[in-house]
A and B are shown apart, each in its own frame.
Chain A
């Protein structure tokens, strides 16, 4: 279960993919931090991550955490976006056995989970193969 404010706080990151970029060295940060871990600069600006990338690695989840039972088996992956930033996301719209390392993927707005019948429904970006 997740409180409404807790979900609401992360909407820019989860639904618009807003991270940060260091104006000193160009490093991108997702999620954002107080300082650039590369150069230590605090001069960070809001930055929208690219919507496309390449699948770096993945796993097929067969033993899900609570709340994800209905969609099991599902694919979890790390995507290297076109600017080099890496994100952990679900891979969707594809059979698990069709997924391969290196495949081109793009972001798509999807439901992640729901907190029971009367709780909030949580949305965020997932990635799907570009065919």
Chain B
């Protein structure tokens, strides 16, 4: 296996991008990723996306995008793992380069949630769960996570206010990020007083609905210096699964797929959770963020509020969590989110994050979840010097 570098990245602002179609949106990100690197060709495009077939009436978006951005006849295809599609696409691209099959692979993700009308978007997102044994009974993505949050609050005696503080930190971080969909600070009261969606999850416990695209170019590490002086190495990467049904889990409050993917990625990168300087974690809801913190090994179970209160997750703390603002404030363009996270970590490690830059970060981690923890992708990046 060859060592693999992230050569360059390109992001669009996460937003309601009414004027852009799915191919144009990805094209904007791809243009930025290609701009500064003079590579001879792109051998393959592996793109993450969840909802195009439901919301844009479009399958086969690999070919659609390859045609639009002008890389045909190179192979191009979409990878779908619900909200984990972006992370899955990066893993696919990593394998393609590491194996020696391809030298230059473009990966990333794109999502056009605003192409959905009426309840179609909610309906499409819900399909991350088990259609026959969860959705059939009237559950949705938010209500399944609400049951988790209620269980957590009851089990650890944690209040909605404690969860609200996580959202407050996300918005504080996101207010510095020019790519963020909701770049403004909020207070505890903003969260507590926002509309109840599915008790105890209220509107400000949730990531917003938006469009976005992220693009990354991967190549062999040894060739990277020829094309760029600011690349990073992917030193650890892994995916893992858990039961698609929440109710089939032995321990509802452990994301086993995250534990398992993180274990493998840490081992491959030869690091431990303590070595991570900056992480982009998957906080679809505040509860998802909290379980992720615990299962990645960044805090003890049931104690996140203590680390939050002493600033341990902020820039300058023991680990900087979601300097982008996370899904909560940067936004959650579902099938692109995992690609945003990896790109954001790469930007942090190469000092390209402007106002949201974390000083002196050397090792970073991206964790991307599909469904309510049924899939997780963990990617560890290291600054190349």
Which residues of A are at the interface with B, using a C-beta cutoff of 8 A? 10, 13-14, 29-31, 37, 56-68, 71, 74, 76-78, 86-90, 101, 112-113, 122, 124
A98 to chain B, nearest CB (A): 13
Chain B residues with CB below 8 A from A60, complex form:
196, 198-199
**CB within 8 Å for A88 and B196 given contacts A57-B148, A59-B146, A78-B247:** no
Q: Which residues of A contact B245 (CB under 8 A)?
A: 31, 88
CB of B40 within 8 Å of the partner chain: no
A13 in contact with B246 (CB, 8 Å): no
Min distance, Cβ B77 to any Cβ of chain A, angstroms = 28
A89 to B358, CA, bound (A): 45
Bound complex: CA A95 to CA B173 (Å): 40
- From A10, A58, A65, A89, name the one whose CB has the most chain B CB atoms within 10 angstroms: A65
Which of chain A's residues has its CB closest to B155's CB?
A: A57
Kindly report which residue of chain B lies nearest to residue A29, judged by CB atoms.
B248
Q: Are B123 and A62 in contact (CB under 8 A)?
A: no
Do the beta carbons of A74 and B198 come within 8 Å of each other? Answer: no
Q: A76-B138, A87-B247, A88-B246 are in contact. List 20 more A-B contacts (CB 8 A).
A: A10-B132, A10-B136, A13-B132, A30-B133, A56-B151, A56-B252, A57-B154, A58-B147, A59-B199, A60-B199, A62-B199, A63-B140, A64-B138, A64-B140, A65-B139, A67-B138, A74-B138, A76-B137, A101-B150, A101-B154
**Any chain A CB within 8 A of the CB of B142?**
yes
Main secondary structure of the interface of A (DSSP, over half): strand
Task: Please measure, in the bound complex, the distance between the C-alpha atom of A68 and the C-alpha atom of B140, giving whole angstroms.
Answer: 11
Chain A residues near B151: list those with CB within 8 A: 56-57, 78, 101
Chain B residues within an 8 Å CB radius of A101: 150-151, 154
A88 with B134: CB separation less than 8 A: yes
| Given known A-B contacts A57-B154, A57-B252, A62-B196, A89 and B137 have beta carbons under 8 A apart | yes
Query: Which residues from chain A contact B249 at a C-beta distance below 8 Å?
Result: 86
Nearest chain A CB to B200's CB is how many angstroms away?
A: 8
* Interface residue B122 (Cβ < 8 Å from any Cβ of A): yes
CB distance from A72 to the nearest CB of B (A): 9
Instruction: Check B138–A31 contact: CB distance below 8 A.
Output: no
Q: Is the CB of A59 within 8 A of B143?
A: yes
Interface size of B by CB at 8 A reads 36
Closest to A2 in B: B136
Chain A residues with Cβ below 8 Å from B252 are 56-57, 78, 86
Best-surrounded residue of A61, A64, A68, A88 (most CB of chain B within 10 A): A88
Question: Which residue from B123, B137, B143 sits with its C-beta under 8 Å from A66?
Answer: B123
A87 to B147 CA separation, bound complex (whole angstroms): 12
Residues of chain A within 8 A of B126, CB atoms compared: 65
The closest CB in chain B to the CB of A72 belongs to B138
A13 to B248, CA, bound (A): 14
The 6 A-B residue pairs whose C-beta atoms are closest, nearest first, are A59-B146, A57-B151, A86-B247, A68-B138, A60-B199, A65-B140
How many Å lie between the Cα of A68 and that of B150 in the bound state? Answer: 22
Please, how many angstroms separate the alpha-carbon atoms of A37 and B256 in the complex? 13
Interface status of B197 (Cβ within 8 A of chain A): yes
**Beta-carbon contacts of B170-203 to A below 8 Å, as 1s and 0s?**
0000000000000000000000000011111100
A contact residues around B196 at 8 Å (CB): 60, 62
How many angstroms between the C-alpha atoms of A103 and B134 in the bound complex?
21
**A122 — nearest CB in chain B belongs to which residue?**
B136
Closest to A60 in B: B199
By the criterion CB–CB under 8 Å, are B138 and A65 in contact? yes
Closest B residue by C-beta to A14: B136
| B351 beta carbon closer than 8 Å to chain A | no
- Give the distance to chain A from B28, nearest Cβ to Cβ, in Å: 31
